[in-house]
Structure 1
Amino acid sequence: MTVSDPVVESVVATIGRSATEIRQGLIGRRGAVEESENPTGDTQLEADVWADDLLGDRLASLEGVGQYASEERAEVVDCGGDPEADDGVYAVAVDPLDGSSNLESNNAMGTIFGVYDAALPARGERLVAAGYVLYGPITTLVIATEETVAEYELTGGERRLVERDLELPEDPVVYGFGGRVPDWPADFESYAREIERELKLRYGGAMIGDVNQVLTYGGIFGYPGLESRPEGKLRLQFEGNPIGYVVERAGGRSSNGDRSLLTVDPTEIHQRTPVHVGNGDLIERLEDALA
């Protein structure tokens, strides 16, 4: 199956072909870059910088890509063309290695991307496609468009369709909540205590792995605003919007604790946000608890 829009298909195909190379290229790049942080203060690993350079060079060169933005870069890269004014020109936002801190312990991580038909930063409602690569025991790609959510296995630079119309299971099974428990606000902690009596804990330290568990089994993933960081940890453009888009297209809901992530007005490219995604009734209960 291919994506109907040729520019979006080029973006998806480029990320899919690059995934095998990224996975292999993680070997030997587990160390931190000396005295280097990304724009929001996280320590950069060699793999973060390398994956960003690789994807940035390839995606920025595609016809129809007018902007490239990465969690690892301070500014949006102008690739020629204005996504706000030119039909068929898009902006691509990428988290090159979500969960790269898992490299040290050799656990799962991923690549997240969103394709916007507006200049960045943009509301999630301006996404035309979003998805992620999961570097697990098998390298997989999940891509959401206005038409469907599909899952592929990636090997040798090619993608093989696994499921054409991926939907969130109706009966939730798993949950995963980020942040230190002593740092959770009291209303979120009360909600979490209810959920832990109902569902199985699945939390691996890389959002994309935890979200994939929710898509596979049903449930909820959340990284709330914390007492020490009320704005949350995850980035709206690179993580919250794309993952919210995928889960909503799969029949679930997303929320910043108050409303859909896709309706949040961005103020800057590296804006942080609380992120909650999963089955609709669980998100509704969350919003009620936090109201």
Structure 2
Amino acid sequence: MATKDFNTADSATAIQTIDRVVDVIAATAPEIRAGLPGRRIKAEETNPSGETQMAADVFADDLLCKRLGGLDGVGEYASEERPEAIDVGTGDLSVAVDPLDGSSNLKPNNTVGTIFAVYDAPLPARGTDLVAAGYVLYGPIMTMIVARGGTVSEYVITDESNYELVRDDITLPDEGTVYGFGGRVPDWTDDFTQFARDVEKDPSRKLRYGGSMIGDVNQILTYGGIFSYPALESAPEGKLRVQFETYPIGYILETAGGSSSNGEKSLLAVAKDDLHARSPLHIGNSDLVAELEAALA
């Protein structure tokens, strides 16, 4: 995937802003994680997508809005938990976040994460406006994946002021070995059901699905394979939000040498005008994503 040229005249300043965004995400993640106990309860509100918020969703969003919104160079902040993007400064870059992806996993104490995307355009933006994206995985080890400057890197976050590079220039393994498919099986379309059954027949592949999109994506980035949250009979646009999930995840996977698709074309080529618009998502090794697109054609 080609690195996008910055719209702003001062690309050096934009790069510095991206670096500061990554620093803030890394510094805030330990505080988010430390604040999860006691917030595994439902909040009184729903988010703009109609989902019941967890107290942890609101907590993480408030922290990130305050920290990211205070950065020079960031002009807008948006999250899954807010109905609209908010003006936070006069900068050229916009930051969109899913503050706590998979928050329904808090009750059984399964994997959750934070997704962030940096756009060189006002929100809602296009996938082609992305200049950086990444996520934090609150697993047994707290790690952060960052795609910027044409490469994907992995860091271990040790505390509020330190994160250490552990893998650089990450690319998907040539032979993908895992798969995971979201959504209720009876709600899958017939074409997708047939594709999933064909994937399952390959004895070299293992099912890995945990119900937290970030955890499932990290499996693909580590082992290769395919992950899908497809169009459903009851939800033709799927479940995942374009600005906060499908664009940044597509950007990361394509930067790592894989492919992304909404079932027809790259996720980065999907055009949506609503801040909370949704899209099916398919990411992984290019050969498997091509097979998926052929199956759905």
Question: Scaled by the length of structure 2, what TM-score is found?
Answer: 0.93
1:262 aligned partner, one-letter code: L
CA distance in 1, matches of 2:14, 2:181: 35
2:136 paired residue number: 133
1:109 paired residue number: 112
| 1:14 corresponds to 2:24 | yes
CA distance in 2, matches of 1:196, 1:22: 37
CA distance in 2, matches of 1:262, 1:154: 28
CA distance in 2, matches of 1:41, 1:147: 35
From 13, 32, 46, the counterpart of 1:37: 46
CA distance in 1, matches of 2:256, 2:237: 26
1:283 aligned partner, one-letter code: V
1:244 paired residue number: 250
Q: Is the 8 A contact 1:149 1:249 kept in 2?
A: yes
Show structure 1 runs of 5+ residues with no match. 83-88
1:155 CA drift (Å): 1.0
1:11 CA drift (Å): 0.4
2:195 paired residue number: 191
Q: Is the 8 A contact 1:94 1:114 kept in 2?
A: yes
| 1:275 corresponds to 2:281 | yes
Which SS does the other structure have where 2:194 is aligned?
helix
Question: Per-residue CA shift, 1:142-163, capped at 9, x if unaligned?
Answer: 0001331000000112111001
Q: Is the 8 A contact 1:130 1:145 kept in 2?
A: yes
1:79 CA drift (Å): 1.3
Q: Is the 8 A contact 1:146 1:249 kept in 2?
A: no
2:106 aligned partner, one-letter code: L
1:285 CA drift (Å): 0.3
2:83 paired residue number: 74
| 1:63 corresponds to 2:66 | no
| 1:234 corresponds to 2:255 | no
Runs of 4+ in 1 over 3 A off after TM superposition: none
Which SS does the other structure have where 2:250 is aligned?
helix
Show structure 2 runs of 5+ residues with no match. 1-12
Question: Scaled by the length of structure 1, what TM-score is found?
Answer: 0.95
Question: Per-residue CA shift, 1:242-269, capped at 9, x if unaligned?
Answer: 0000000000000000000001112210
Which SS does the other structure have where 2:113 is aligned?
strand
CA distance in 1, matches of 2:14, 2:174: 29
Q: Is the 8 A contact 2:14 2:73 kept in 1?
A: no
CA distance in 1, matches of 2:207, 2:14: 38
Question: Per-residue CA shift, 1:23-55, capped at 9, x if unaligned?
Answer: 111010000012x10000011000000000000
1:4 CA drift (Å): 8.5
Share of identical aligned residues, percent? 61
Return 232-241 or 193-202, whichever deviates more: 193-202
Question: Per-residue CA shift, 1:155-188, capped at 9, x if unaligned?
Answer: 1121110011111001010000000000000000
Question: Per-residue CA shift, 1:115-158, capped at 9, x if unaligned?
Answer: 00011111111100000000000000000013310000001121
Return 44-53 or 118-127, whichever deviates more: 118-127
2:178 aligned partner, one-letter code: V
- Count of residues in Structure 1 that have an aligned counterpart in Structure 2: 282
From 170, 179, 185, the counterpart of 2:183: 179
Give the aligned CA root-mean-square deviation in angstroms.
1.1
CA distance in 1, matches of 2:141, 2:164: 12
